[in-house]
Every structure is written in structure tokens, then in C-alpha cells.
A = this chain, B = another copy of it.
């Protein structure tokens, strides 16, 4: 279920590992990657505090480079870097974490304020204590920045195109415009009573009922992101995630363009994906449309909901984002979004690592927690291993990964501290 980037990666790796498998992907949208994959800010990073998240992202990023460089399939993967702007308090807090991540082999660079001031032309890193607005927002002077090197942006539509093309070549069928209405639970023995499965029956997932058909399968896999609870709640199977709306706004103009083309951070001569304190507003460089995309994760007060067609809110930009970014980056003064959209995160609120588990014959792949595109390859490999009932998955580059680490009872992950 689901032809987003995760579902397609699952299909790709199942077929790669078991070429004789018959795979059918069911997708309610009319083409691939039209759900939350398309709504993503589409950046990638290998900078995570959780070893598992790091491994999933790092090997997936390598695989995407392999697709782009060795298979000559352009994914618009650009290593612009991630840049966390830090106040002195934040810098102090993350310093030990930075050391820990660096020791694990992640390339990081620390910037001092002086250098930042030179490179980020027109930025206002200092916060004056006379500034009433800054005081109200509790803004503080930016004293440092942390740059992740193996980080950047990617074209999710290209990645989806790659996976979709490959699985078609390998014989997968894809049904677009077909909505899964329910998951079929099959009791043994089947007595055709209204309330089956009964407590004393063995129950197994046998497929799905869709808007068009009843589809029976030996193995059913959900890769439905934020929609997963709607599929699983009627079965009484916990998806272990909660769904939240996330919004993206795109900004342009002469000054925005100047900021976009900031030189000094990377070979491409563009601003890295930059995170602005105090609350992690992101600014993503988009060379294709000469714009900067922005958004931020809101927590308290943002309901858990799944909407078929979520909408971005003008107010959200105006009150949450604009006052902060226009303060540090006057490039944005009076700039209003020229485009906006919204999607969902399927959030694991406990440790912000994905879940891959089997329940009653159903394989549930969920909980990418906002970093699904950058981890899709590894997640697909682990799901394929789960499908083949293997204990160990081999990630791109040869690293081994114990499938049970992403399970429920067998879970073995560190909670992620670098949530965006």
C-alpha cells in the first residue's frame, strides 16, 4: 500500500532480492509520489544523534549518489550542506553531541561568528537588547554554526521516477487511482460469521479491499506514512505513530536571490539548508526556481490529524516564520510567499526513528518522522529483509542491520535529539 518513496523503495528492494516475487503496488493517487513525498522539503542529512537514523540516512544518501553518478540517473542530489545556526547557549548544549556524532565518522564543520558574518552578507547575527521585538521572541545572538557536509537537497520526483521505472522493469504492477478501503483479516477456519475473526480463531492479514477490487496477497505491506493509523486503527493494530501537518512556503526576490547565492559554504555557491534559532525554522536553497523554501515544525498546539488535502496557512508564515527569519535575515523583509503547500509527518514521538514490524502477517513500514526521503533506500532494504523473513538486512555499502532493531518489542534504537 502506497507508491510514495517508501513504498516504491520497498517494492524495489523486494524485487531486487527476490526477482521471482509478484509485487503489486496500490496507490490512491493517480501517479507515484503524489502524497507526502511530493510535499516534502526534500533535503537530506547524515547528521543525527541516533546511530540508527545516521546509518539509514548515510547509506541511503550513498545509494542516491550511486544512482546519480554510476547509473547516470540524475536525482538533482546537491551537497549544499546543512547549517545549524546556534546561539551561545545552544552551542554549549550541542558541543558534546557534536563530538559524539563526529566520532562516528560524520563530516562536520564548526563556524565561528566572525567567519559567518563575512560569508552571510546582509545577515544580522547580533541581537540588540534594545530590540523589543527580538526580546519578545527571545531571540539571541548567533555565535556559531554547525555545518553537516554530507547533507543537501534532492529531487523526490526524480527518486520516485527511478524507483518506479526500475520496479516496472522488474515486473511490478502498479495500480494508480485505487484506494485501499480496508485491510482483510482472514480467520482460520473461515466460518463466514459477521464478527470474524473470533478470539479463538487464528487471524492473518490476507490482502486489501480497494475502491475497485478485493486483492489477496501472501504478504501485505503498508507504506502509507501519515495515513497508516487510518488503515490500522480499524484492525486494532497500533501503528505507533501520530500524524501532523507540516508546511512549506517559498520565497523569492532580489535580496532572497542574493542570500540564496551565498558563496563560501559549498562548491555550488549556494546557501546550505539553514536552520534558524530558536525553533529550527529551515531555509532551503532551491536553485531550480531561484527561491528559498521555508518551514518549521510546530509542536504544542498543532493537532495530530491526517487530511486528504492539507492546506498551508498564510498566518503560519506570517506569525511563526516571518518575524524570526526577517530579523536575522533582512533579505526577507516584506517578502511574502509566492507558493505554499502542506503535507504530513508520520511521527514516532518516542524516539523519532522509523518502525518496521510484522503483526499478524502484515508488515508495517512507518514513522519516518519527517526524514523518509533521505532514508527511503535503507528502509526499503530492511522491509525487504523483513519480507524475506531474514534477521539481517544489508544496507547500501555492505553494512549489516538487524531488522528487529526497528520492531516494537525488540526495539533497539537511541532516541533522536536532532529533530527538524
Report the stretch among A115-123, A262-270, A314-322, A378-386 that lies at the interface: A314-322
**Cross-chain contact B304 with A238 (CB below 8 angstroms):** yes
A296 at the interface (CB under 8 A from B): yes
**Cross-chain contact A236 with B301 (CB below 8 angstroms):** yes
A195 contact from B200, B296, B319, Cβ within 8 A: B319
Whole-angstrom distance between the Cβ of A243 and the nearest chain B Cβ = 10
Known contacts A194-B315, A409-B415; A298/B199 CB under 8 A: yes
A194-206 interface code vs B (CB 8 A; 1 in, 0 out): 1111111011000
A217 at the interface (CB under 8 A from B): no
A324 at the interface (CB under 8 A from B): yes
Whole-angstrom distance between the Cβ of A409 and the nearest chain B Cβ = 6
**Cross-chain contact B408 with A320 (CB below 8 angstroms):** no
Interface size on A, as a range, is 35 or more
A319 contact from B198, B300, B302, B349, Cβ within 8 A: B198
Q: Which of A343-401 contact B (CB under 8 A)?
A: 349-350, 360
A254-287 interface code vs B (CB 8 A; 1 in, 0 out): 0000000000000000000000001101000000
**Cross-chain contact B300 with A235 (CB below 8 angstroms):** yes
A62 at the interface (CB under 8 A from B): no
A233 at the interface (CB under 8 A from B): yes
On chain B, the residues within 8 Å of A320 by CB distance are 195, 198-200
A28 at the interface (CB under 8 A from B): no
A313 at the interface (CB under 8 A from B): yes
A299 contact from B234, B236, B301, B409, Cβ within 8 A: B236
A104-143 interface code vs B (CB 8 A; 1 in, 0 out): 0000000000000000000000000000000011110000
Whole-angstrom distance between the Cβ of A236 and the nearest chain B Cβ = 4
Q: Which of A136-188 contact B (CB under 8 A)?
A: 136-139, 185
A237 at the interface (CB under 8 A from B): yes
What residue in chain B is nearest A205 (Cβ atoms)?
B300
Whole-angstrom distance between the Cβ of A200 and the nearest chain B Cβ = 5
On chain B, the residues within 8 Å of A13 by CB distance are none
A189 at the interface (CB under 8 A from B): yes
A299 and B189 CA atoms in complex are apart in Å by 17
**Cross-chain contact B200 with A301 (CB below 8 angstroms):** no
A337 at the interface (CB under 8 A from B): no
A193 at the interface (CB under 8 A from B): yes
Whole-angstrom distance between the Cβ of A303 and the nearest chain B Cβ = 5
A303 and B234 CA atoms in complex are apart in Å by 4
**Cross-chain contact A236 with B350 (CB below 8 angstroms):** no
What residue in chain B is nearest A302 (Cβ atoms)?
B236
Whole-angstrom distance between the Cβ of A352 and the nearest chain B Cβ = 11
On chain B, the residues within 8 Å of A193 by CB distance are 319
A-B contact pairs, 14 of them (CB 8 A): A136-B189, A137-B200, A138-B202, A194-B315, A195-B313, A195-B315, A196-B301, A199-B279, A200-B324, A233-B304, A236-B302, A236-B304, A240-B349, A240-B350
